[in-house]
Amino acid sequence: MNYEMGWLNYHRGKTEELPNYMGQLYYTEEDTVLLSAIEELKLAAKGMFGCELAVSKDNTVTGDKGIFLKVNKGAGISEEGYRITAKDSFVLIEGSTSRGVLYGTYAFLRRLHKNPDLTGYREEKSPDNPLRMLNHWDNMDGSIERGYSGESFFFQDNEILINSRTKDYARLAASVGINGVVINNVNVKGAATWLITDRYFDKLKSLQDIFKSYGIKLYLSLNFAAPMELGELHTADPLSEEVKAWWQDRIQKVYDSLPDLGGFLIKADSEGRPGPFTYKRTHSEGANMLAAAVRPYGGLIIWRCFVYNCMQDWRDKKTDRARAGYDNFKPLDGSFSENVILQIKNGPMDFQVREPVNSLFGAMEQTNQMLEVQIAQEYTGQQRHVCYLIPAFKEILEYHTGYGEKDTVGEIIGGTASGSRNCGITTVVNTGNDSNWTGHDLAAANFYGFGRLAFDRNLSAEEIGEEWIRATFGGEKKVVDTILEILMMSWPAYEKYTSPLGIGWMVNPNHHFGPNVDGYEYDRWGTYHRADRFGLGVDRSSKGTGYATTYSESNALLYETAESCPEELLLFFHYIEYNYCLKSGKTLIQHIYDTHFEGAKEAEQMAAMWEQLTGYVPEEIHKRVMERLEFQKNHALEWRDVICSYFYRKSGIPDIMKREIY
C-alpha cells in the first residue's frame, strides 16, 4: 500500500540541531492512547532530527531533561484539554486524560515545525467543541458519494477493510483533534443496513479499538427502516411497541459487541430515505425512540435536519426549499431527548460557495445543535479546484444569530451558550484511497483546517494554513508565503468566477460540476435563480417566500430589504434588476462581469504562483498540483465565459470594459 502522510510526514529540517529536550521520553501509564502519543513522538523525533527517543515509564519525573507525557487528573485541566510547559531541556505535556496528553503531543509537534527553540513556551487549551467529527459518505461497495479522492479505504465489495491505512487515518484525524468518525454514508442502503448485525461486528470491533487508541469514537449511519429491511418487522413506526422493542434489542446487541460506539447518525425523510413521516410521526418521535434505545450505553443519536421536498415543481414559486429545515424542525424545539443532537448544515441549501447561515442555529434554544459543513467540495470545485474553505467556516462560526448574549454559531454549537456537552461540529470529509488521501494535495489543508478550527475556533485561517504548510512542506519562507497566498485567495476566487452573490447552483444535475446556469432552473430540486431579461434572484423577504423572517428579529430586518442585506447574499434574498446600483457604485450586471473576469484572473495567478515553487516542493507533488491548477485555470475561464455570456444574452447590457463576451 503506497501512500503519503501529508502533514505527518515529519521531514528533516535543513539545519536543525538536536534540541536539548530530545532524547528521553517519560510517560506515566500503560494506556493505548498514551502509547499512540509515544509512537508519534518517536516517529517525529526520528524524522525531524534523526533521533531515536529512549522511552521509559516513570511517574515521578520532576524535570531535568527530556519530554514527559503525564496523565494528571488533579491538574485542573478539562477532559480533553492539555497543558504544555517547557524549559530549556525539559517539556511537560499534561492532560487529565490520556486523550488530552495525545492532543498536547500533537500541539507540541506543531510547535516544533514552527520553532524547535521552546524558550518561554507554554500552551494550554481545551477544545471549543465537545464533538469534533468527520462524516464519511463511503458506501460498502467501495464507492464514495461525492468522493473525489479515489475509493473508500473503509469498505470494499461489502466488506470492511482493516489495514495500515486504518491506523494512519486515525493518526491524521487525531493529530487535528477529531474525536468522532461516522464511517458509512448517511444514505444507508444494501449491505450498510447490516452494519448493526453480527455480520460485521468483528471487523467493527477492530476498527473501534484502533480509533479508540487515538481518542476517536466510532459512529455508524443508521437506516431508519432497518427493522423492515433486515426482514424482521413489517413496520418501522417509531411509536410501535414492537419497533421500540426491536431497536432496544438490536442496539443492545450492537453495544454488547461495540461498547465504545459513540452512537448513530440518521438521515430520515430526506431525498428518498425512510423516516417517521411515513408513519405520520414527528422527527422528535423518531429520534427519541432511538435515543431511548442507546441511552443505557451513553450513546448519541445525531439527527440530520436536511429535510425538504425534493419533488418540487419549478413552476411553484411559493415553496422555498430554504425554509424547509426551519419549518420542519423549529416547531419541535424542546421535544427532543437530551441525547439527541440535530445536525444542521451551515446554510439552508446545500454547501454552496456562499449561503446565509442556517436560520435554525440559535432558534431552537431547547435543542442540542451540531454544525455540518462539507470539505468534500461537492459544489466548490470537487478537489479539482483549490478552494480553502477555512475562511468560510470562520465566517459561519462568528455569525451572530441574534439569540441571547452568547449568540454566535461557534458559541451555540460549542455549548458555551447552553452548557450542553452534546453539541459540536462535523464535516463531510474529503478523503479516499488516493495516495495523498485527498486527490488534490492542497485539499488536505481543508481536512487539517477543519479539525484545527473545530478544536480552537479562535485560530485564524492564516494561522491554520501556515501550520499545515510548515508541517507538510517545511518552513521555507517562499514556500510558506506562496502556498498561504494561494490558499487564502482560493475561496474568494472560486466565489467570483462561479455563481454570483449567494444565488448558488448553476451546475449540472447529478454530478454537480459546472458551469451550467440553467442546470437546475427547470428541475425539481427547489434550486432556482429565476433569471429573466430584467434581473435575477429569489425574493425571500416577507413579500416573497418569507425565509428571511425565520431569522431572529435583528437578522430578519437585515435580510428583509435589498439595501440592508449583506451584499454577498443579495441574490439569495432578493430579486435584483441588472441595472441596480451596488454599494461599489457598479451595476449588478457590471459586478457580475467584473467579478468573473477577476476570479478567472486569480485562478491564472494561482497556477503561476505554484509554478514558481518548482524545486521547492517534492517534484511529484508539484506536478500533481500543477496539473490541477492548470485545469482550474481553464475551467475558471469556462465559468467566466458561460456566466458572462448567459447574462449578457439575457440582459443585453454590454460590459463597460468592452471585454469579449459571447
Please tell me the distance from the alpha carbon of residue 158 to that of residue 522, in angstroms, as a whole number.
37
Least distance between a second copy and beta carbon 86 (Å)? 58
Q: Which residue in the set 475, 601, 650, 655 belongs to the binding site for a second copy (CB under 8 A)?
A: 650
Please say which residue, 573 or 648, places its beta carbon nearer to a second copy. Answer: 648
Neighbouring CB atoms inside 10 A of 33's CB total: 23
Please tell me the distance from the alpha carbon of residue 478 to that of residue 458, in angstroms, as a whole number.
26
Asked if 313 is an active-site residue, the reply is no
Convert residues 114-153 into a mask of x (bound to a second copy by CB under 8 A) and - (unbound). Answer: ----------------------------------------
Q: Which residues from 297-356 bind a second copy, rule CB under 8 A?
A: 314-315, 317
Least distance between a second copy and beta carbon 641 (Å)? 6
Please say which residue, 494 or 520, places its beta carbon nearer to a second copy. Answer: 520
Q: Which residues from 218-247 bind a second copy, rule CB under 8 A?
A: none
Helices of type H across 474-569: 477-497, 553-560
Q: Which residues from 534-573 bind a second copy, rule CB under 8 A?
A: 534
Side chain identity at residue 338, one-letter code: E
Cell of 33: 492512547
Cell of 2: 503506497
Q: Say whether 371 sits in a helix, a strand or coil.
A: strand
Q: Is 252 near a second copy (CB under 8 A)? A: no
Q: Is 641 near a second copy (CB under 8 A)? A: yes
What lies within 8 Å, CB to CB, of 236 at 6+ separation is 224, 225, 226, 227, 228, 243, 274, 278, 279
Please tell me the distance from the alpha carbon of residue 588 to that of residue 593, in angstroms, as a whole number.
9
Binding region for a second copy (CB under 8 A) out of 28-36, 373-381, 420-428, 646-654: 646-654
Q: Is 531 near a second copy (CB under 8 A)? A: yes
Three state DSSP letters for 310-358:
CCCCCCCCCCCHHHHHHHHHHHHCCCCCCCEEEEEECCCCCCCCCCCCC
Q: Which residue in the set 142, 410, 451, 515 belongs to the binding site for a second copy (CB under 8 A)?
A: 515
Q: Is 522 near a second copy (CB under 8 A)? A: yes
Neighbouring CB atoms inside 10 A of 365's CB total: 13
Q: Is 497 near a second copy (CB under 8 A)? A: no
Least distance between a second copy and beta carbon 527 (Å)? 15
Q: Which residue in the set 88, 242, 249, 518 belongs to the binding site for a second copy (CB under 8 A)?
A: 518
Asked if 398 is an active-site residue, the reply is no
Side chain identity at residue 164, one-letter code: S
Could you tell me if residue 215 is left (phi over 0), alpha (psi between -120 and 50 degrees) or otherwise beta? left
Q: Is 106 near a second copy (CB under 8 A)? A: no
Q: Is 652 near a second copy (CB under 8 A)? A: yes
Please tell me the distance from the alpha carbon of residue 127 to that of residue 36, in angstroms, as a whole number.
19
Decide: 456 and 125 in contact? Cβ < 8 Å.
Answer: yes
Decide: 213 and 169 in contact? Cβ < 8 Å.
Answer: no
Please say which residue, 255 or 314, places its beta carbon nearer to a second copy. Answer: 314
Convert residues 354-373 into a mask of x (bound to a second copy by CB under 8 A) and - (unbound). Answer: --------------------
Decide: 6 and 436 in contact? Cβ < 8 Å.
Answer: yes
Neighbouring CB atoms inside 10 A of 81's CB total: 20
Helix 461-473 vs helix 444-455: crossing angle, to nearest 10? 130
Binding region for a second copy (CB under 8 A) out of 10-18, 170-178, 408-416, 650-658: 650-658
Among 378, 411, 434, 539, the active-site one is 378
Please say which residue, 15 or 510, places its beta carbon nearer to a second copy. Answer: 510
Give residue for cell 519530554: 67
Q: Is 516 near a second copy (CB under 8 A)? A: yes
Least distance between a second copy and beta carbon 659 (Å)? 13
Please say which residue, 341 or 536, places its beta carbon nearer to a second copy. Answer: 536
Q: Which residue in the set 443, 517, 556, 562 belongs to the binding site for a second copy (CB under 8 A)?
A: 517
Least distance between a second copy and beta carbon 648 (Å)? 8
Please tell me the distance from the alpha carbon of residue 587 to that of residue 238, in angstroms, as a whole number.
54
Helices (H) and strands (E) in the chain, counts: 17, 18
Q: Say whether 604 sits in a helix, a strand or coil.
A: helix
Among 249, 271, 316, 532, the active-site one is 271
Q: Is 533 near a second copy (CB under 8 A)? A: yes
Q: Is 649 near a second copy (CB under 8 A)? A: yes
Q: Is 645 near a second copy (CB under 8 A)? A: yes
Please say which residue, 141 or 577, places its beta carbon nearer to a second copy. Answer: 577
Please say which residue, 11 or 317, places its beta carbon nearer to a second copy. Answer: 317
Q: Is 256 near a second copy (CB under 8 A)? A: no
The residue among 128, 102, 103 whose CA lies nearest residue 425 is 128
What lies within 8 Å, CB to CB, of 563 at 6+ separation is none
Least distance between a second copy and beta carbon 303 (Å)? 35
Least distance between a second copy and beta carbon 577 (Å)? 12
Report residue 239 CA to chain centroid gap: 34
Q: Is 499 near a second copy (CB under 8 A)? A: no
Q: For the chain, what's the residue count?
A: 662
Least distance between a second copy and beta carbon 651 (Å)? 7
Complete edge-to-edge strand list for the sheet that includes strand 54-57: 54-57, 24-27, 66-71, 90-95, 82-87, 122-125
Q: Is 580 near a second copy (CB under 8 A)? A: no
Asked if 611 is an active-site residue, the reply is no
Q: Is 642 near a second copy (CB under 8 A)? A: yes
Q: Say whether 459 sits in a helix, a strand or coil.
A: coil
Q: Say whether 587 sits in a helix, a strand or coil.
A: strand
Binding region for a second copy (CB under 8 A) out of 72-80, 236-244, 528-536, 562-570: 528-536
Q: Is 583 near a second copy (CB under 8 A)? A: no
Least distance between a second copy and beta carbon 349 (Å)? 21
Helix 477-497 vs helix 390-397: crossing angle, to nearest 10? 70
Please say which residue, 604 or 641, places its beta carbon nearer to a second copy. Answer: 641
Q: Which residue in the set 88, 365, 532, 627 belongs to the binding site for a second copy (CB under 8 A)?
A: 532
Q: Is 651 near a second copy (CB under 8 A)? A: yes
What lies within 8 Å, CB to CB, of 290 at 6+ separation is 222, 238, 247, 251, 264, 266, 301
Least distance between a second copy and beta carbon 524 (Å)? 10
Least distance between a second copy and beta carbon 645 (Å)? 7
Please tell me the distance from the alpha carbon of residue 49 to that of residue 36, in angstroms, as a whole number.
19
Least distance between a second copy and beta carbon 652 (Å)? 4
Q: Say whether 87 sits in a helix, a strand or coil.
A: strand
Binding region for a second copy (CB under 8 A) out of 109-117, 339-347, 379-387, 526-534: 526-534
Cell of 643: 456566466
Give the interface size with a second copy as a residue count (CB under 8 A). 23
Please say which residue, 204 or 531, places its beta carbon nearer to a second copy. Answer: 531
Please tell me the distance from the alpha carbon of residue 23 to that of residue 38, in angstroms, as a whole number.
13
Among 350, 411, 434, 467, the active-site one is 350
Point out the residues that are catalytic.
271, 350, 378
Q: Which residues in this chain contact a second copy in the complex, by CB under 8 A?
A: 314-315, 317, 515-518, 522, 531-534, 638, 641-642, 645-646, 648-652, 662
